[in-house]
Amino acid sequence: MSKKKNLSEYNISDVPDASDMKIAIVFAEWNQEITLALADGAKTTLLNHGLNEKNLFINSVPGSYELPMGAQYIFENNRDIDAVICIGCVIQGETRHFEFISDAVANGIMNVAIKYNKPVIFGVLTTDNFSQAKERSGGKHGNKGDEAAITAIKMIELKKIS
Ligand code: DLZ
């Protein structure tokens, strides 16, 4: 296993060219200060790896709970999309909402991926507090949106070559 804990510090030559790919980002409007930074990181990384901006589709959903449905709508309406990157931020509160939302999103995303046999990337932060989320959306722990973008490109390529 790689010793790197932070995929934001990746080797550019390890990532395939994305110029012939079509990718969608769907982000949650909850905790928008964080999710916009993550979505922006994902977008920049995709474009840096050759994705044509006309092949990048960006939509939002109200909250992270709606991300799996958002991904499903995107695949239903755009059959040639290669992958969907789901971006969200669920922050621990005083009630059990956190667990319900986090579990439902993780399972829902996997179900959509399997249903369409296409990568649906879990770009969802699940943190104890806002400052942990800030640190992971362009702070000292990098930007997990970058990592989600790289994961999407790598999985699309894997499907092609495997
Ligand atoms: C209701 C709720 C709560 C309490 N917390 C979050 C959160 O931290 N992050 C997030 O993305 N969404 C949250 N939501 C909204 C739910 O995801 C969902 O939009 C609503 O429950 C409506 O289905």
Q: What is the pLDDT of residue 123?
A: 98
Residue with CA closest to ligand 1 atom 19: 63
Q: What is the pLDDT of residue 9?
A: 64
- Let me know if 97 is a catalytic residue: yes
Q: What is the pLDDT of residue 56?
A: 98
Residue with CA closest to ligand 1 atom 3: 97
Q: What is the pLDDT of residue 3?
A: 43
Q: What is the pLDDT of residue 1?
A: 31
Q: What is the pLDDT of residue 2?
A: 38
How far, in Å, CA of 59 to CA of 57, rounded? 7
The phi, psi pair for 38, rounded to 5°, reads -65, -45
Q: Which atom of ligand 1 is nearest to the CA of 124?
A: 11
Q: What is the pLDDT of residue 51?
A: 98
Active-site pick, 62, 76, 93, 97: 97
Q: Is the CB of 25 under 6 A from ligand 1?
A: no
Mean pLDDT per 10-residue segment, the chain (162 residues): 52 87 98 98 98 98 98 96 98 91 98 98 97 97 97 97 92
Q: Which superfamily is assigned to 21-161 in CATH?
A: Lumazine/riboflavin synthase (3.40.50.960)
Q: Is the CB of 26 under 6 A from ligand 1?
A: no
pTM above 0.85, yes or no: yes
